[in-house]
Amino acid sequence: MADTIAAVSTASGAGAIGILRISGPDALKISLLHLRGIGSETNRVSVRPRHAHTFNFVDHDRKLDRVVFLFFPGPNSFTGEDLCEIHAHGNPILLREVLECLFRSGARPAKQGEFTKRAFLNGKLDLNEAEAIGRIIQARSRFELELAQKNAFGELSRLASNLRSQLISLKAECEAEIDFSTEDLTFESLVQRKNRIQKVLETCENLLKKSGQAETLLERSRVVLYGEPNTGKSSLMNLILGRERSIISDIPGTTRDYVSEEFLLAGIPIRLTDTAGVRETGDKVERMGIERSEKEFSSADVRVFVIDLSQEIDWGKFVRSNLSKLNGAVIAANKFDIASPTWNPSAIRNIISDAVVCEVSCKTRQGVDELIREISAKLQSLESSEDYVLLEERNRFHFLSIVRSLNACLLLIEENAPAEVYIKEIDTALDEIGEVNGRVDTEEVLGRIFSKFCVGK
């Protein structure tokens, strides 16, 4: 990495500020060729590391902009090498001119992700943290952002390091038993060893499980509108989407199958589904649609039960007959503008104390924003990042390999295989966990052996 790279680091398009980064051995030298002090020449001595300076940026004798300049000498910089930042006004044309000046003076265009790659190669980030930066930038929801932040702040790396330490300890114990079996030393029992292996195995399996659940939530959370025919489910779907998607009609049973649409709701990717109205029917096709609706509703992440307030109904009786479906659902009490005198929300809350009831009118839009807020709150409560972990495909592969190796190791121990045989499975698992954060150091294994056992006495 003897060359110096430069690029615009802020998003494309116009903005108040645009930031250019220059990294490499000649970063400061190239920058100083175009920086002039306000009323005086600029030299290296006048630039203090990690301090903001105001300069004119020039192309020969032509002033392009007044900029804020920062210099971070390596290795104490993001990339681990000399790094400069130029904060200019965020006009794309101006930023391109500044960048062209840097290129003419010896920098080359940075490749995609090259600043982060250099940070990794220079030991400023491990691979998990480097991958997490990409996720932070591209996160589509608060949930994904929080998961990426956990990795960027080293949570996965610390977990992997802890597992690696346990595996090294296991290997050290096995190696010592093989090499020093004739010495007067006490080794752990096979039961104790199996328990230690099982503990590492369970941690890896739990990690994979939580990662799989997180990926499911990241794909699309499913929100399903459910209820009897003609309660206004299709109208409600169109209002939430902000456009006509479902066919609206006064004729009950218009929706014969469920209709889905994927979009962002309050920044969370969801799949919103309008289902067929549920009622007793002899129509075979409609019955199939109802069965699909019930299946969608029962497996939804967030269930919205739509009721028609214009009907004269004994609401207490209605709740008791639909209790399993109403429990945990957001209740969209539609047609509030023409609600029957029999409407009584207390009848619902008396039976379901924590019921979420939103009085809405698709005709007047009353209460629709509140309903969307309640749906969003349900989604956010599902997406608590504390219970999940994010594994990139690379790490998922390594942890699956560890699980296979440790299961094979336990099986060999059960079959009374000698330590020389099953230790190879621990070696494989150790190699795999080493790929997550960094390679295994043989000296580290030897150091663990000699520190634990008084070898050479």
Q: Looking at residue 120, what is its pLDDT?
A: 83
- For residue 159, is it within any domain? yes
- For residue 68, is it within any domain? yes
- For residue 444, is it within any domain? no
Q: Looking at residue 8, what is its pLDDT?
A: 93
Of 90, 124, 158, the residue at which a domain comes to its end is: 124
- For residue 448, is it within any domain? no
CB 268 within 8 A of CB 248: no
Q: Looking at residue 142, what is its pLDDT?
A: 74
284 and 310 co-located in one domain:
yes
176 and 277 co-located in one domain:
no
Is the dihedral angle over the CA atoms 439, 444, 449, 451 positive or is it negative? negative
Of 73, 105, 124, the residue at which a domain comes to its end is: 124
Could you list the residue range(s) of the whole structural domain that residue 326 is in?
Answer: 220-245+257-383
Query: Residue written as tokens 């619902």?
Result: 348
Q: Which amino acids are annotated as binding site for (6S)-5-formyl-5,6,7,8-tetrahydrofolate, given as ranges? A: 21, 85, 124, 457
Q: Which amino acids are annotated as binding site, given as ranges? A: 21, 85, 124, 230-235, 249-255, 274-277, 457
Query: Residue written as tokens 């939103």?
Result: 358
Identify the segments of the chain with pLDDT beneath 50: 42-45, 246-256, 279, 282, 440, 445-457
Q: Give the list of residues 6+ apart from residue 272 with CB closer than 8 angstroms, or none.
A: 223, 224, 225, 237, 240, 241, 260, 261, 262, 263, 265
115 and 23 co-located in one domain:
yes
**Distance between CA atoms of 404 and 396, rounded to whole angstroms?**
12
Burial of 160 (0-12, 13-18, 19+ CB in 10 A): buried
Of 383, 402, 425, the residue at which a domain comes to its end is: 383
**CATH classification at residue 305:** 3.40.50.300
237 and 374 co-located in one domain:
yes
- For residue 130, is it within any domain? no
158 and 15 co-located in one domain:
no
Q: Which amino acids are annotated as binding site for GTP, given as ranges? A: 230-235, 249-255, 274-277
302 and 405 co-located in one domain:
no
**Distance between CA atoms of 58 and 35, rounded to whole angstroms?**
6
285 and 377 co-located in one domain:
yes
Whether pTM > 0.85 for this model: the answer is no
29 and 105 co-located in one domain:
yes
**CATH classification at residue 87:** 3.30.1360.120
SS3 content of the chain, % helix, strand, coil (to 5): 50, 20, 35
**Distance between CA atoms of 43 and 34, rounded to whole angstroms?**
11
24: left (phi over 0), alpha (psi -120 to 50) or beta: left
- For residue 410, is it within any domain? yes
- For residue 445, is it within any domain? no
291 and 362 co-located in one domain:
yes
**Distance between CA atoms of 225 and 237, rounded to whole angstroms?**
8
- Preceding peptide of 49 cis, ω within 30°: no
Q: Which amino acids are annotated as binding site for Mg(2+), given as ranges? A: 234, 255
**CATH classification at residue 183:** 1.20.120.430
328 and 369 co-located in one domain:
yes
224 and 328 co-located in one domain:
yes
- For residue 447, is it within any domain? no
- Number of domains within the chain: 3
Q: Which amino acids are annotated as binding site for K(+), given as ranges? A: 230, 249, 251, 254
